[in-house]
Amino acid sequence: MTVDGKPTLGIGMVGYAFMGAAHSQAWRNAPSFFDLPLTPRLAAIGGRNADAAGEVAGRFGWHSVETDWRRIVERDDIDLVDVCTPGDTHAEIAIAALQAGKHVLCEKPLANSVAEAEAMVEAAEEAARSGVRAMVGFTYRRVPALSLARRLVEQGTVGQIRHVRAQYLQDWISDADTPFSWRLDRERAGSGALGDIGAHIVDLTQFLTGERITGVSALTETFVKERPVPEEFSGLSGTAAADGQRATVTVDDAALFLARFSGGAVATFEATRMASGRKNALRVEINGTDGSIAFDLENMNVLHLYDHTEAAEHAGFKRILVTEPGHPYVAAWWPPGHLIGYEHSFTHQAVDLLTAIAEDRDPAPTFADGLRVQRVLAAVEASAGNGSTWTEVPR
Ligand code: SOE
């Protein structure tokens, strides 16, 4: 099928909640703002609740609704499966889709375990041999200010990196009465703040530095051990043994860790859902021999740059408003100074995935990048679990 003379790519999305909405608007907007080699067609949205999925289908223009994801994997009019479900189904759906010859976009974190991630990488590498592509959805790489930051680091602007400092601060469960949800159930989510938002800063810092995290020393904390179960909640798994009223939280509320990077930098990471007042504050700072960069997602069109080679008298952090046409992705949107938002990085993700597919090459981040993140998450949990480096301070 072709639209405006271009081949189309049938999209089948599994899941329809927050990420389902973010991805739906991306598939719809990408061809309107970017000159794409392939035009995405919103062929089907998948969800066990037909009414709920149908409502989202109507809002975003999905052509059909499937209540079994296997139908989406089987349909001949679907060329790409977009996995927007909780982590406990990523591996099963992505591997089935790849084996059926469908390209895959899988939300982060790639999986709930290293073993699952390894199986997904194996399936992706096998599928790539016949031109089937797979990407994991670490969208913050595609925030223009962070793409610019990567470009600057790659050009040597900050020199040899000594420090990486990354936080991802939220507070949506800081109230102990906030009800239980799948994100607090290890069997569904794999982990808590660590995998949900810690995964973002692990991927992002490896992307920005071009280096790998080689070791960690960690601690995790669950401040609120059990939570009220909302009446409608049906997704409770065994590990969240509920007495009908309250469920045991089986994941971390916060994960903090030290790390070393392959290039020699030392790092601090903090991922928490308990930072009262911080709504979605992903912050990263890189300090090098020649300068520093600093970013805060709550001010996402700005990148701060410090040039250490400037004379001290007039040196200082420069505030770059990343809205110039020469900045990554920006030319497709608005004139300088007209800002963009959280959802635009999902559109950039769709653009880069469709372009990679058309050019018959692997998109980034690959499933192998996702496995690298999964291995860091597992190391953090292992370190936190055995308290290996924790030294009590004598009273
Ligand atoms: C919740 O913490 C969440 O929606 C994450 O799951 C997303 O990945 C992040 O982009 C925003 O916060």
- 362 and 277 in a single domain? The answer is yes
Q: pTM surpassing 0.75?
A: yes
**Residue 2 clears pLDDT 90, i.e. is over it:** no
| Ligand 1 nearest-atom number relative to CA 273 | 2
DSSP-derived secondary structure for 261-329: ETTS-EEEEEEES--TT-SSEEEEEEEESSEEEEEEGGGTTEEEEEETTS-GGG--EEEEE--STTSTT
Q: Mean of the pLDDT values across residues 134-151?
A: 98
> Do 198 and 304 fall within a single domain?
yes
Same domain, 123 and 152: no
Residue 170, ligand 1, Cβ within 6 A:
yes
**Number of structural domains in the chain:** 2
The pLDDT-based confidence of 152 (bands split at 50, 70, 90) is: very high
pLDDT at 14: 98
Q: Is the CB of 136 under 6 A from ligand 1?
A: no
pLDDT higher than 50, residue 239: no
| CB 147, CB 248: distance < 8 Å | no
- Answer yes or no: is pLDDT of 58 > 70: yes
Any ligand 1 atom below 6 A from CB of 197: yes
Lowest-pLDDT choice from 27-31, 227-231, 288-292: 227-231
Is residue 168 domain-shared with residue 123, that is, in the same domain? no
Structural domain ending residue among the three candidates 116, 139, 162: 139
pLDDT at 32: 97
User: Could you say which of 97, 124, 139 is where a domain stops?
Assistant: 139
Q: Which residue has the tokens 């971390």?
A: 252
- Give which of 361, 334, 22, 300 is closest to 140, Cα–Cα: 300
Picking from 106, 139, 172, the residue at the C-terminal end of a domain is: 139
Q: What is the pLDDT of residues 310-336, one digit of tens each?
A: 999 999 999 999 999 999 999 999 999
Are 266 and 309 found together in one domain?
A: yes
Q: Does 165 share its domain with 299? A: yes
Nearest ligand 1 atom, CA 199: 8
**Predicted local distance difference test score (pLDDT) of residue 275:** 98
CATH number for the domain harbouring residue 210: 3.30.360.10
Arithmetic mean of pLDDT over the chain: 95
- Secondary structure tally for the chain: helices H, strands E: 11, 17
pLDDT of residue 394: 83
Report the pLDDT averaged over residues 264-287: 98
Q: Based on the domain organization, do 125 and 87 belong to the same domain? A: yes
Domain that holds residue 77: 2-139
